[in-house]
């Protein structure tokens, strides 16, 4: 019997917290770990059942603490979540080495997993990655807007926690209006959003609704985690690393990514002309094919 296209899973961690994951594909196959973006969840993986069967690979998409079925972790760090994922992979008896990927803020969690568990990771793909907010060297590459976000997160945490609770309520009460606001933020004026595929709109909407469970606490603590100083070195990443970046990305400028290529020994920047921050949705097949080839 074929595996379901999206199978919800829950792992109980040693400290009794629940870690929710979504599995796509056959559990007997090697796994690609997909780290979702900020304020999202493991439901943001594009449907690709036939491709997974062809490649003989599964995708495991964990929900970070406070998203979906994952319990809130007030002490969340990049390193602690990497440990959560490593425990889940062990509990699920995933065979072989892992392909690891992460979109946007999820790329930071992908880097942590690859740096802290190098023996388990065969390849790392960073999709429209952001830079670690907790590294002063990365901070030099930030736009004024991102520097303001960093400042607010560090010095106005109570304000942020209330704001995420209000945003969570909006996502659950008005999911369609909320996704339209999000797409306008990504793409610009509403007329530029018209061509966005309805299936992708629904995918991101449902993933964000799950991301804003627990009154937005998960998003709040995730924002705190990505602003902490790194407890690992990017030079510890041994796996071949591909950075997928669009030249038209309005969220994070491509010219700042030398920060990553300077520090990750085997990193390669793959620039895609005229693509924006959500390029992974369009290029998911190419990403998976390359990852699977690198996994052996």
* Cβ-Cβ contacts under 8 Å for 173 (sequence gap 6 or more): none
Phi, psi of 133 (to 5 degrees): -70, -20
Confidence at residue 1, expressed as pLDDT on a 0 to 100 scale: 33
Q: What is the CATH number of domain 7-295?
A: 3.40.50.1820
Q: Domain extents for the chain?
A: 7-295
Summarised one tens digit per residue, pLDDT across range 31-41 is 999 999 999 99
pLDDT of residue 161 exceeding 70, the answer is yes
DSSP letters for 55-74:
HT-EEEEEPPTTSTTPPP-T
Summarised one tens digit per residue, pLDDT across range 20-68 is 999 999 999 999 999 999 999 999 999 999 999 999 999 999 999 999 9
3-class SS letters over 147-205: HHHHHHHHHCHHHHHHHHHHHHHHHHHCHHHHHHHHHHHHHCCHHHCCCCCHHHHHHHH
Summarised one tens digit per residue, pLDDT across range 78-100 is 999 999 999 999 999 999 999 99
Instruction: Identify which has the larger pLDDT, 165 or 2.
Output: 165
- The pair of three-digit structure tokens given for residue 81, joined into one six-digit string: 């979540």
Distance CA 268, CA 251 (A): 20
Confidence at residue 215, expressed as pLDDT on a 0 to 100 scale: 93
First to last CA, the chain: 26
Distance CA 201, CA 179 (A): 7
Determine contact, residues 288/55, Cβ cutoff 8 Å. yes
Share of residues in the chain with pLDDT > 70 (%) = 94
Distance CA 147, CA 57 (A): 39
Tell me the whole-structure pTM to 2 decimals: 0.94
Phi, psi of 31 (to 5 degrees): -120, 145
SS3 label, residue 79 = helix
Confidence at residue 189, expressed as pLDDT on a 0 to 100 scale: 56
Summarised one tens digit per residue, pLDDT across range 188-204 is 655 455 457 889 999 99
Count CB-CB contacts under 10 A for residue 121. Answer: 23
Distance CA 222, CA 220 (A): 5
Summarised one tens digit per residue, pLDDT across range 108-151 is 999 999 999 999 999 999 999 999 998 989 988 888 877 877 77
Confidence at residue 3, expressed as pLDDT on a 0 to 100 scale: 46
């Amino acid at each position: 019997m074929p595996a379901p296209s999206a199978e919800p899973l829950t792992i109980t961690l040693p400290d009794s917290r629940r870690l929710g994951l979504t599995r796509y594909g056959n559990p007997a196959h090697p796994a690609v770990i997909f780290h979702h973006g900020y304020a999202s969840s493991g439901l943001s993986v594009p449907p690709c059942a036939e491709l997974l069967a062809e490649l003989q690979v599964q995708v495991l998409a964990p929900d970070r603490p406070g998203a979906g079925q994952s319990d809130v972790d007030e002490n969340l760090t990049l390193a602690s979540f990497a440990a959560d994922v490593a425990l889940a992979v062990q509990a699920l008896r995933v065979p072989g080495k892992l392909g690891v990927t992460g979109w946007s803020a999820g790329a930071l969690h992908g880097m942590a997993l690859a740096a802290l568990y190098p023996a388990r990771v065969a390849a790392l793909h960073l999709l429209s990655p952001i830079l670690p907010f907790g590294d002063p060297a990365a901070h030099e590459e930030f736009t004024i807007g991102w520097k303001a976000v960093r400042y607010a997160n560090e010095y106005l945490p109570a304000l942020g926690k209330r704001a995420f609770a209000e945003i969570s309520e909006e996502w659950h009460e008005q999911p369609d209006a909320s996704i339209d606001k999000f797409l306008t933020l990504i793409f610009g004026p509403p007329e530029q959003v018209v061509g966005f595929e309805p299936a992708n709109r629904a995918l991101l909407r449902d993933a964000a609704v799950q991301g804003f469970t627990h009154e937005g606490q998960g998003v709040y603590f995730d924002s705190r985690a990505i602003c902490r100083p790194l407890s690992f070195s990017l030079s510890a990443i041994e796996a071949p690393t591909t950075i997928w970046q669009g030249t038209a990305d309005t969220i994070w400028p491509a010219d700042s990514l030398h920060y990553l290529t300077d520090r990750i020994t085997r990193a390669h920047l793959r620039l895609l002309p005229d693509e924006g921050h959500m390029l992974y949705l369009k290029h998911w097949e190419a990403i998976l094919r390359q990852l699977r080839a690198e996994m052996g």
